[in-house]
């Protein structure tokens, strides 16, 4: 595997994952193709040594694991976590806003979106719709995924001539300015939004007996595919690098590992809105899966105490024009190595023991580790690491690939960064020794 091939695979994943639902469906296909068996939360499980399994929740989170020879409470679980969601625009239930023969779609802002980057870009529309279906004369509800997979809307900027101060102080009002322009013409003559969705659903899923779209979770995203940039292709420019880059690196790391003890990836939804959801890292998904691998309270406690998680989420690379936004001694750069994230207020779960283990893994993989700590006069963001660590009692380190323009509609990373993260995670899964250090 070369970085180039690895990136091709990453680009395909990003392009085919405009929503967490699509991302999980894509990963599911990869898992099936590499021998992972689907388990259902509602069924009884029979886990076998060396077995490969995965479970999804809400279609937007997935946990996959390879069972070790020994029980999880005997040798622990090596875990890597990441999130499947990215900041975006979520379509409201009654979205149509008509004026001057133009229809815009009202949206809520999902996550900490950098809104000014969303103007004048082709926007794709994708997500989950729940439909009334009639099959063999029986009526039922079913959710399906749709993806227009092309620019179906955009948000036009106001011309500079109508706002001469725009370059000084244009602000974005999400209610007034963000609803993307979806169609032009007499709204009386165009199909209502749900009818449009119905037509698209029938086109994507012919012969499935879809009668009506009852509800939906649809979001706009950048329609432009992931691409290289830079004079030597040393940069990646892509939507949703935060955090599909990490999901991809972790999945590849697991698939190609030959772990001696149980190894697991945990990809959860809703990190960008706090993780406190059905499928989020603060929800019950991981704990529920772990408690079925280690059913008694004692087995669970022993498993947690012997396990280790690398929580992966992108890290802020130092900006070429605004380097003073970083602490000068903790300014990660692109194409240098994975970033270890540290915060005294524990907005990141890293501590000296978990950090030491990550450095140890990277040294074994021949990688340089960079350190990120926020400036002491700026507040720090957070991620899934502290949620998982505090809820399960699993020692965790927060790391990530260096990234510029985080939460922009297009984010940048170095073209070697995804592969370096993969090498670190693959090495972690392949470590012979137990994941926990015996320092204490
Ligand atoms: Co993130």
Angle between helices 20-33 and 241-255 (to 10 degrees): 10
**Within a domain: residue 228?**
no
Q: 143 and 131 in one domain?
A: yes
In this structure, is residue 233 part of a structural domain?
no
Alpha helical stretches, state H, 128-239: 166-169, 174-177, 193-204
Read off the pLDDT of residues 227-267 as tens digits, 9 standing for 90 and up: 999 999 999 999 999 999 999 999 999 998 888 899 999 99
Shared domain for 272 and 304, answered yes or no, is yes
Residue after which a domain boundary falls, among 190, 222, 254: 222
CATH number (domain holding residue 175): 2.30.250.10
Q: How far is the CA of 266 from the centre of ligand 1 (A)?
A: 14
* 183 and 125, same domain (yes or no): yes
**Domain identity same for 78 and 94:** no
How far does the centroid of ligand 1 lie from the alpha carbon of residue 410, in Å?
14
> Does residue 109 lie in a domain region?
yes
Pure H helices in 180-310 = 193-204, 241-255, 285-293, 297-306
Same domain membership, residue 417 and residue 293: yes
- Per-residue model confidence (pLDDT) at position 244: 98
**Model pLDDT for residues 325-367, shown as the tens digit of each residue:** 999 999 999 999 999 999 999 999 999 999 999 999 999 999 9
Q: Identify the domain boundary among 171, 189, 222.
A: 222
Ligand 1 centre to CA of 150 (Å) is: 25
Report pLDDT for 440.
Answer: 47
Helix (H) or strand (E) holding 344: none
- Pairing relation of β-strands 123-135 and 138-147? antiparallel
pLDDT confidence tier of residue 434, bands split at 50, 70 and 90 = low
pLDDT score, position 205: 96
pLDDT band for 431, please (50, 70, 90 cuts).
Answer: confident
Indicate the pTM of the whole model.
0.96
99 alpha carbon to ligand 1 midpoint, in Å? 36
Residue 98: CA atoms inside 13 Å, Cβ hemisphere, count? 12
Separation of 52 CA from ligand 1 center, angstroms? 27
| Number of domains the chain contains | 2
**Domain around 414:** 3-86+239-439
Same-domain status, 214 and 132: yes
Do 274 and 412 sit in the same domain of this protein? yes
Residue 62 domain-assigned (yes or no) = yes
Backbone phi, psi, residue 162, to 5°: -100, 0
Q: Which residue, of 187, 222, 257, is where some domain finishes?
A: 222
Same domain for 129 and 62?
no
> Is 297 within a domain?
yes
Q: Answer yes or no: is 234 within a domain.
A: no
Residue 293 in any domain: the answer is: yes
What is the pLDDT averaged over residues 288-307? Answer: 97
Residues 310 and 355: their CA atoms lie apart, in Å, by 10
């Amino acid at each position: 595997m070369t970085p180039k091939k690895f990136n091709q695979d990453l680009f395909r994943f990003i392009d085919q994952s405009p929503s967490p639902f699509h991302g999980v469906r894509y990963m599911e296909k990869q898992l099936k193709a590499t021998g992972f068996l689907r388990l259902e939360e509602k069924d009884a499980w029979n886990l076998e040594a060396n077995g490969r399994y995965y479970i999804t929740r809400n279609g937007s989170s997935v946990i996959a694991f390879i069972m070790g020879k020994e029980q999880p409470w005997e040798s622990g679980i090596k875990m890597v976590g990441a999130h499947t969601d990215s900041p975006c625009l979520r379509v409201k239930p009654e979205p149509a806003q008509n004026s001057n023969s133009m229809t815009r779609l009202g949206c809520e802002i999902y996550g900490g979106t950098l809104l000014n980057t969303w103007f004048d870009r082709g926007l794709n529309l994708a997500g989950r719709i729940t439909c009334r279906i009639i099959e063999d004369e029986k009526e039922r509800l079913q959710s399906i995924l749709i993806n227009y997979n092309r620019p179906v809307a955009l948000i036009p900027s106001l011309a500079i001539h109508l706002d001469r101060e725009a370059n000084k102080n244009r602000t974005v009002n999400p209610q007034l300015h963000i609803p993307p322009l979806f169609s032009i013409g007499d709204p009386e003559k165009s199909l209502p939004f749900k009818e449009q969705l119905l037509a698209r659903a029938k086109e994507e899923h012919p012969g499935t007996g879809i009668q009506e779209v009852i509800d939906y979770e649809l979001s706009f995203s950048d329609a432009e595919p992931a691409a290289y940039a830079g004079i030597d292709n040393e940069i990646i420019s892509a939507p949703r690098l935060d955090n599909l880059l990490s999901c991809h690196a972790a999945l590849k790391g697991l698939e190609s590992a030959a772990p001696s003890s149980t190894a697991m990836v945990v990809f959860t939804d809703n990190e960008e809105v706090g993780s406190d959801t059905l499928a989020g890292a603060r929800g019950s998904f991981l704990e529920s899966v772990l408690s079925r691998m280690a059913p008694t309270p004692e087995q669970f406690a022993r498993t947690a105490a012997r396990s280790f998680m690398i929580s992966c989420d992108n890290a802020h690379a130092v900006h070429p024009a605004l380097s003073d936004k970083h602490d000068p001694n903790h300014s990660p750069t692109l194409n240098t190595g994975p970033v270890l994230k540290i915060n005294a207020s524990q907005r990141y779960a890293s501590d000296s023991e978990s950090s030491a283990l990550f450095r140890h893994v990277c040294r074994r993989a021949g990688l340089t580790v960079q350190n990120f700590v926020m400036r002491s006069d700026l507040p720090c963001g957070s991620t899934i690491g502290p949620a998982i660590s505090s809820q399960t009692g699993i020692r965790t380190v927060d790391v990530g690939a260096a990234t510029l323009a985080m939460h922009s509609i297009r984010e940048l990373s170095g073209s070697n960064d995804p592969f370096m993260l993969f090498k670190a995670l693959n090495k972690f899964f392949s470590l012979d020794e137990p994941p926990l250090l015996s320092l204490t």
